[in-house]
Structure 1
Amino acid sequence: MLQRAQVRITRHLEADLLARHDLALASYDVLTQLAEAPGRRLRMNDLADRVLLSRSGLTRLIDRLQRDGLVNREACESDARGLFAVLTDAGAARQAEATPTYLAGVRAQVLNVFTGEELTQARHMLTKLLTSSQDPRA
Structure 2
Amino acid sequence: MAELLDDPRITAIGLLSETFIGLSARFAAQFAGHKLSPVEFEVLMRLARSPGHELRMTDLAAQTSLSTSGVTRVVDRMERDGLLQRRACPTDRRSSYAGVTNAGMTKLADTLPGHLELIDEWFTGQLTPAELDQLLGLLRRVRDAVNPCATAGVPERGGACDPAIDPDPDASETLTAR
Unpaired runs of 5+ in structure 1?
A: none
| Identity in percent | 34
Match of 1:35 in 2: 48
Q: Higher Cα Rg: structure 1 or 2?
A: 2
The 3-state SS of whatever aligns with 1:74 is strand
Match of 1:25 in 2: 38
Unpaired runs of 5+ in structure 2?
A: 1-13, 149-166, 170-178
The 3-state SS of whatever aligns with 1:84 is strand
Report the TM-score, using the length of structure 2 for normalisation: 0.68
Shift of the alpha carbon at 1:116?
4.4
Q: Compare 47-56 and 82-91 and name the one that shifted more.
A: 47-56
Shift of the alpha carbon at 1:52?
2.5
Shift of the alpha carbon at 1:134?
6.8
Shift of the alpha carbon at 1:75?
0.9
Shift of the alpha carbon at 1:115?
4.1
Q: Does 1:16 align with 2:7?
A: no
Q: What is the RMSD of the two structures over their aligned residues, measured on CA atoms? A: 2.1
Match for 1:66: what amino acid?
A: E
Which has a greater percent of strand? 1
Shift of the alpha carbon at 1:58?
1.0
The 3-state SS of whatever aligns with 1:80 is coil
Report the TM-score, using the length of structure 1 for normalisation: 0.85
Q: How far apart, in 2, do the equivalents of 1:127 and 1:36 lie? A: 17
Shift of the alpha carbon at 1:22?
1.0
Match of 2:156 in 1: none
The 3-state SS of whatever aligns with 2:126 is coil
